[in-house]
């Protein structure tokens, strides 16, 4: 009887040991399975993160190649919202009504010296297969306030135009780029200034071939170190200049319209035998004359090139027909008048197509012409 009890006890302990072992094995299997699952999940997450990171880096490098300060998407939305609120206050101050700034899906990749977005808007066809690309710049000098309102009027006009179904007005074969406030820091000051937050004239800071040789020399000798026209010691040192250069590189416009004030004139810089209009009968010159006529005979003037200027950099050295429209004043009360005066001219300029005779002018242009300063 005692032997039977010992045998039963032994069998019981053996069965208990087997159960414990089986439980531990199962627990180990589950643990390993969980670990494997977690490892797979972690690897998948890591892959996703790395993929997103790679895309982010690729976009960042692309923008860095454009000379841009990379800004995350969420931060971009916040910056644009805050910026549009500032613009709205300025519009109210100047009696211009609503800016409609928040109505537009702005593009921007870099910021001004003080961190405001350098924005632009596109209308029409952004693919490579298009007939014409027009770039319009305003607010290059912050104290020239009427051009800024003028650009917002162009935005409204283009928005209406884009919604029309009339074939003649359709933008399917055109692209229009509008940068309404190239130099926001100077515009948003209590007392707006010509130069940016670093005290540099961003229309004298372009990397023209004569910049290093002549920019500072001209500033000292002709302008007696006038702070309003300081070109900076290094070309393209300012984010606002980089912004304009990047637009040219990214979109390769067929023509540029830069709006300023208050010299009351139209000026042309571009691929031509002579500075003020070029080849007689050329498409570029025809457009210049047309704009003048549609603005009640607005004065055309041969304004000189300057080291570091847009006209020199884009029009003279890169053969992009560049038009400077100088409004009569910076009087905020006359903005409606100026828009009425130039609306048809701007519309014609946007719809105008530069023809092949400009290619002839480009081929025949003498390299020495790029050194012309007065």
Q: Where are the domains of the chain?
A: 1-65, 73-371
pLDDT of residue 358: 43
pLDDT of residue 71: 56
pLDDT of residue 329: 97
Q: Is the dihedral of CA 187, 192, 193, 198 positive or negative?
A: negative
Give the Cα-Cα-Cα angle 84, 133, 321 (nearest 5 degrees).
105
324 three-state secondary structure? strand
pLDDT of residue 282: 73
Do the strands 265-269 and 322-326 form a parallel or antiparallel pair, or are they unpaired?
Answer: antiparallel
pLDDT of residue 302: 83
pLDDT of residue 275: 43
Q: Which CATH class is domain 73-371?
A: alpha beta
Three-state SS annotation for 123-178: EECCCCCCCEEEEEECCCCCCCHHHHHHHHHHHHHHHHHHHCCCHHHCCCCEEEEE
- Residue 25's DSSP bridge partners are none
What pLDDT tens digit does each residue of the chain (374 aa) get?
554 454 555 555 555 555 555 554 554 444 444 454 454 444 444 444 343 333 343 444 444 444 444 456 667 888 999 999 999 999 999 999 999 999 999 999 999 999 999 999 999 888 777 889 999 999 999 999 999 999 999 999 999 887 775 544 567 789 999 999 999 999 999 999 999 999 999 999 999 999 999 999 999 999 999 999 999 999 999 999 999 999 999 999 999 999 999 999 999 987 755 444 444 347 788 899 999 999 999 999 988 889 999 999 999 999 999 999 999 999 999 999 999 999 999 999 998 887 644 443 334 333 333 333 33
C-beta pairs of 229-232 under 8 Å, 24+ apart in sequence = 229/194, 229/201, 229/204, 230/195, 230/199, 230/200, 230/201, 230/204, 231/200, 231/201, 231/204, 231/205, 231/307, 231/308, 232/198, 232/200, 232/201, 232/204, 232/205, 232/308
pLDDT of residue 196: 98
């Amino acid at each position: 009887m005692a032997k039977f009890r010992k045998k039963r006890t032994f069998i019981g302990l053996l069965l208990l040991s087997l159960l414990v072992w089986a439980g531990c094995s199962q627990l180990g299997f589950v643990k390993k399975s969980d670990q494997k699952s977690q490892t797979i999940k972690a690897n998948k997450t890591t892959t996703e993160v790395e993929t997103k990171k790679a895309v982010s880096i690729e976009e960042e490098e692309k923008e860095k190649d454009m000379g841009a300060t990379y800004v995350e998407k969420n931060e971009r939305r916040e910056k644009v919202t805050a910026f549009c609120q500032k613009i709205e206050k300025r519009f109210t101050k100047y009696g211009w009504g609503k800016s409609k700034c928040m109505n537009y899906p702005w593009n921007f990749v870099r910021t001004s010296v003080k961190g405001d977005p350098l924005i632009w808007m596109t209308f029409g066809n952004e693919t490579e297969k298009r007939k014409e690309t027009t770039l319009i710049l305003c607010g290059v000098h912050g104290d020239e306030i009427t051009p800024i309102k003028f650009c917002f009027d162009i935005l409204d006009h283009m928005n209406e135009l884009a919604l029309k179904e009339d074939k003649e007005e359709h933008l399917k074969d055109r692209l229009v780029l509008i940068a309404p406030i190239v130099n926001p820091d100077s515009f948003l000051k209590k007392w707006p200034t010509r130069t940016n937050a670093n005290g540099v004239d961003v229309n004298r800071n372009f990397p023209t071939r004569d910049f290093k040789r002549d920019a500072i020399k001209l500033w000292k000798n002709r302008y007696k170190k006038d702070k309003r026209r300081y070109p900076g010691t290094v070309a393209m040192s300012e984010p606002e200049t980089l912004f304009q250069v990047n637009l040219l590189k990214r979109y390769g416009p067929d023509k540029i319209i830069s709006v300023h004030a208050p010299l009351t004139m139209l000026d042309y810089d571009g691929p031509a035998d002579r500075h003020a209009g070029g080849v007689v009968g050329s498409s570029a010159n025809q457009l210049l004359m047309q704009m003048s006529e549609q603005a009640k005979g607005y004065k055309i003037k041969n304004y000189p090139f300057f080291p570091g200027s847009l006209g020199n950099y884009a029009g003279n050295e890169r053969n992009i027909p560049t038009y400077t429209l100088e409004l009569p004043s910076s009087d905020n009360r006359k903005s409606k008048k100026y828009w009425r005066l130039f609306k048809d001219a701007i519309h014609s300029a946007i719809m105008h197509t530069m023809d092949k005779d400009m290619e002839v002018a480009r081929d025949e242009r003498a390299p020495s012409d790029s050194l012309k300063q007065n």
